[in-house]
Structure 1
Amino acid sequence: MNSGEFIEKLKKLRRENSLVAKKQIFDLAKEHKDMPTIEAIKLLRNSDYDQRLGAVSILDWKARNTKITEKEKEEIYNAYIENHKWINDWGLVDRAAPYVIGGYLHNKDRKPLYKLAKSKLPMERRTAIVSTYYFIRQNDIEDTFKIAEILVNDQDEYVQMAVGSWIREAGKKNSTYLIKFLDKFASIMNRKCLRYAVEKLDNRTKQKYLKADITNASR
């Protein structure tokens, strides 16, 4: 399997459909999950969004393989990090970051996530928080909240939404962490970020935090 074969099948999908659905690209990527990583990188380094979505999906399918070796995990991790400038859309980040980045770093030093959280590039910062979804699934939520603290005042809309969404998900595992975070930061959080964060709380608690600083409504 190689990138050329993927592109030809993608072209066929485009001839048969006025608009290729994301699920079709995900399914096509799954068919090509055994493609060498270097071939997936060729797809990623492309201005064609569907090819890039296919590339990160291939990396994701590789990372989800229960038989993957540590060497292979490292290879796809490096492919993502070293080519991050091509992963410049929230949909691309969310498709691969949890398993490709989070899955690799789960049992390792997580300093790379904190470096990403301080990047000048919004999608690298989004990768930092989104990657922790893998940890959350393992009931490991501390890094989610630590990275959220770094990003709590981020000016990018897509980073803000990720922060709110991910601390909400982490809060499902342990609400005490979420409540402590909100007690400290609700009054300064972006309104949309805050709404995402409190979405699953009971109505009384939700209203408490939404009213913490009504001036946030215009932010």
Structure 2
Amino acid sequence: MAEPEVDALVEHLRSLATDAERAKLERALADRTGTEVLGVRMGAVFALADEHLGLSRDALRELLRRPEHEARVLALSVLGRRAKRLRPDDPQLRADADLYLAEHDRVVSWDLVDVAAPYVLGRLALGGDRADVEALAASDDPLRRRSALMAALTLVRRGETADAVRLAIGALGSGAEQLERTAGALLREVGKADEALLVATLERHAPAMSAIALRFATERLEPAERARLRALRAA
């Protein structure tokens, strides 16, 4: 039986929905499966998450199992936002990560990955707990692999680039456009921290990269360097 708090939150989300926002989200979420779009601005969902950071994991699990896209965004936003307040060795972070992993089948679109994985899994990885990230990276599911790459983004932003490069390279050649974009974008972020490492990586791997991954990886380089590296793919 649904918890009253969960029912109330979903009804509140319904009250915030508009036809215009529903149409916009329907266009943006063409890749989702098995969900209903209510039509709530993401800013409003995030604000609601900030008001409910103390939701129990049972309530969050129930929200994740709801059919409404915004209910899942709300649950994952709570997980992501409160992870930012937790130390990497906090048992609550581990428990929240376990919930995310156990309910990953409910994470059915790229945006759902992005509101939780960088913070919940990324902060665990910062503390040295990287087994989950490695397991996700080895999955055949592009969304699980994106979870791994988005967790690695947190490592890069703390100056830890080696694992991020390895995971990004491992994701190349997947055939999934969004995953190729993600791998390229992760390499781009590596370049912000260590441009020499990015260039050396691309000199080795650019010939086999997809055009879209290489475009994302090189987009912040100087024009001449960008052109040189992109030409390697055609060589």
What TM-score comes out, normalization by structure 1 length?
Answer: 0.92
* Structure 2 counterpart of 1:4: 7
Which of 25, 29, 33 does residue 53 from structure 2 map onto? Answer: 33
How far apart, in 1, do the equivalents of 2:113 and 2:173 lie? 20
Counting only pairs closer than 5 Å after superposition, residues 131-210 of structure 1 correspond to structure 2 as: 131-210=151-230
How far apart, in 1, do the equivalents of 2:230 and 2:20 lie? 44
CA contact (8 A) 1:6 1:32 kept: no
How far apart, in 2, do the equivalents of 1:38 and 1:68 lie? 22
Structure 1 unaligned segments of length 5 or more: list them: none
Structure 2 residue matching 1:11: 3-state secondary structure: helix
Q: Which amino acid aligns with 1:10?
A: L
CA contact (8 A) 2:86 2:93 kept: no
After superposition, the C-alpha distances for 1:60-99 in whole angstroms (9 at most, x for unaligned) are: 1110125797111011100111110111211011111111
CA contact (8 A) 2:155 2:161 kept: yes
CA contact (8 A) 1:37 1:59 kept: no
After superposition, the C-alpha distances for 1:179-202 in whole angstroms (9 at most, x for unaligned) are: 111011111111011000000000
**Structure 1 pair 16–9 and aligned structure 2 pair: CA distance change class (3 A):** farther
How far apart, in 2, do the equivalents of 1:201 and 1:25 lie? 35
**Structure 1 pair 201–16 and aligned structure 2 pair: CA distance change class (3 A):** closer
Q: Which amino acid aligns with 1:210?
A: R
**Structure 1 pair 67–151 and aligned structure 2 pair: CA distance change class (3 A):** closer
Structure 1 residue matching 2:115: 3-state secondary structure: helix
CA contact (8 A) 2:184 2:216 kept: yes
How far apart, in 2, do the equivalents of 1:100 and 1:208 lie? 37
* Structure 2 counterpart of 1:85: 105
Q: Which amino acid aligns with 2:56?
A: P
Q: Which amino acid aligns with 2:53?
A: K
CA contact (8 A) 1:30 1:61 kept: yes
How far apart, in 1, do the equivalents of 2:205 and 2:175 lie? 15
CA RMSD of aligned residues (A): 2.0
How far apart, in 2, do the equivalents of 1:64 and 1:115 lie? 23
Structure 2 unaligned segments of length 5 or more: list them: 22-38
What TM-score comes out, normalization by structure 2 length?
Answer: 0.86
Question: Shift of the alpha carbon at 1:17?
Answer: 7.6
**Aligned sequence identity (%):** 26
Counting only pairs closer than 5 Å after superposition, residues 112-127 of structure 1 correspond to structure 2 as: 112-127=132-147
Corresponding position: 1:61 with 2:81 = yes
